[in-house]
Each structure stands twice: as C-alpha cells, then as structure tokens.
Amino acid sequence: MVHNNRFIIQFVSIASLLVVVFVFPPVLEAKKDRNVPHGHFGVLTQYQPGPFDLTLQDSDEEELTDGKTVMKQRQDVAAGGAKGGSGGAICVQDIDAPKQAVWNQILRLDEYAKKVPKVAESKNYEEKRGDDKNCFTLKTKQRLGILPGYSYENYYEHTYTPKDDSLTWHLDYNKKSDFYDVAGHWHLEDHPHKTGCTRVYYACDIEVKSSVPRPVLNFISKSALRQATAWVKKESELAPNEKIPNKYILPEVEEEEEQDDGRFSFANKFSNKLQVQRSR
C-alpha cells in the first residue's frame, strides 16, 4: 500500500530523522531560494513546554533500568489531524548524567554535525531571549548529507523554556525547508529513583511530500525509533560534569530600575526620605 500526497511521519529524535531521509529518494532540482516564506505557518499540532501526559508501567521501568529505550504511543493527539493517523510516538530514555549535562548536549545545536551521524551542517543563525524573557529562541539551519549531491535542508525555530525543562520546535516558516512541517519536543526530568541521573522524553512529528511503501513505514515506526536518543545518552554520559552554556541561563532576579524621565520614582524617593529621617 502506498500513501500519496503529503505523508506524516511521527517519530522521535534527530537521530531517527536520519533514517527517514534514506528512504526518500531526493529529487535533483535547481538551487532553491531559502529566503522566501515556506508556504504555510504550520499544519502539525505544535508541542507545548512541560511534561508529557504519559504513564510508565512497571515493565517500562524495568526496560529503562536495563539501559533500554522505551517507546510509547500518544493516543491523545493525532498530529495535525492526520488522516487515519494515530497518536505521536514518545521516546523515553534514562541517562546516567544530571540534567545540566544533558541540556549541555541538546542546546549545543552548532555542534550537532560533529556528534550526530549524517548531519552535515547545523548552524544557529539567530539566538535571542523570548518576548516574555522566560525563554530563549534559537533558529537553526540543518542540512543532512546522505550521498554526494543529495541533501535535505531545513530551518528550525527552537524555544528553550528553562522553568519547564523543555525545548520545543517547529519550522521557521519565513524560510523554505525541504520538509513540509515539523513539530518536536524535548523534556527532561530528574530521575525518580537515581540521584544525579536524568529521564529524557522526546517526540518529533514530521510531514513530508512523498509516497512511502507500507514496509518502509513499518521499518521507521518499529526499528528506527529505538535509536532515537542514543547520541544524547552517549555524549552526556561521556561528559557528566558539563553545565548548561551560560548564554542559556536565566538570571534568578531581574534588576528593574524604576525611573521616571531619568529620575527616581515617587515610591523610591519616599522610601529614601524615610531612611534619612530614621538615621537622624
């Protein structure tokens, strides 16, 4: 059976993404103008920062204790209202390193080409504090190099929300990407039983324009998913003492100056006056 037109792949992690591109023969075409709108502003349901609505069974805990990846199916969401779609997949992985070390790996998007196989290029082109000052926005160009002359180029907008221990993302819709749409979510928690360890949750839904045979879909959904967070686990456990890069740390207390036309506000002046009187 072949699914025509747009096809939604619900799978986990950039590592899994590498498998997808092997099964989609790229089309040789003239160089695209990437600085044009993507054509839409999102068709997939975007993830929100915070924990997943997910319950792990005793059997799942045993798998995680053995160092294995647990795959769970989200039955509450059919991403983007996919025709005949099921809930998106979630990958759960225990890592023998603290959250700081794990975030250090995930947030260094500029270094993915050195760590993730087949990622030929990964470069942030914009980094800034979010409008509400409680998050960070990272826009990243990623290119997957499969064979000489064959590559898939995409532009992502990531939102890192420290208070929720989450990184969510979608395409940067102001640029032209090769994938039709993407919605992803990393979420980290302290391990419930092991001090200094982390439980990682990851989901990523991708929609592409292609035709995919059913055997290929089965391979992606059953085999590739279990490799999802392998690179993050490996790199984090090799460097368990690393910390979150300083540029992604929110100050605990924002210093706000109360000023009125360059002068102290009335409240500050009144407070200062009282202090002077008490000191006399």
**Pairing verdict, β 166-171 and 150-161:** antiparallel
Q: Among the listed ranges 89-93, 121-125, 207-211, which one has the minimum average pLDDT value?
A: 207-211
| More confident position, 270 or 169 | 169
Residue 186 has pLDDT above 70, yes or no: yes
Tokens 């540029």: give the residue: 247
Residues 6+ apart with CB under 8 A from 105: 115, 232, 235, 236, 239, 242
- pTM value is 0.76
Distance CA 65, CA 68 (A): 7
CA atoms in the 13 A half-sphere facing the CB of 274: 6
| More confident position, 256 or 158 | 158
CA distance readout (Å), 38 to 123, 126, 171, 182, 261: 19, 18, 9, 12, 44
CA distance readout (Å), 165 to 60, 131, 157: 22, 18, 17
Which amino acid, one-letter code, is at 229?
Answer: T
What pLDDT sits at residue 32? 84
Q: How many CB atoms lie within 10 A of CB 197?
A: 18
CB 69 within 8 A of CB 228: yes
| More confident position, 43 or 206 | 43
Residue 15 has pLDDT above 80, yes or no: no
Question: What average pLDDT does the chain have?
Answer: 77
Residue 276 has pLDDT above 60, yes or no: no
| More confident position, 160 or 205 | 160
End-to-end CA distance of the chain: 89
Q: Among the listed ranges 85-99, 145-159, 218-232, which one has the minimum average pLDDT value?
A: 218-232
Domain extent, residue 230, equals 2-279
Task: Identify the band that residue 119 occupies on the pLDDT scale cut at 50, 70 and 90.
Answer: confident
Count of domains in the chain? 1
Domain of 6: which CATH number? 3.30.530.20
What pLDDT sits at residue 97? 98
| More confident position, 214 or 129 | 129
Task: Identify the band that residue 89 occupies on the pLDDT scale cut at 50, 70 and 90.
Answer: confident
Residue 107 has pLDDT above 60, yes or no: yes
CA atoms in the 13 A half-sphere facing the CB of 18: 21
What pLDDT sits at residue 82? 38
What pLDDT sits at residue 76? 57
What pLDDT sits at residue 150? 64
| More confident position, 86 or 169 | 169
Residue 93 has pLDDT above 80, yes or no: yes
What pLDDT sits at residue 42? 93
Residue 31 has pLDDT above 60, yes or no: yes
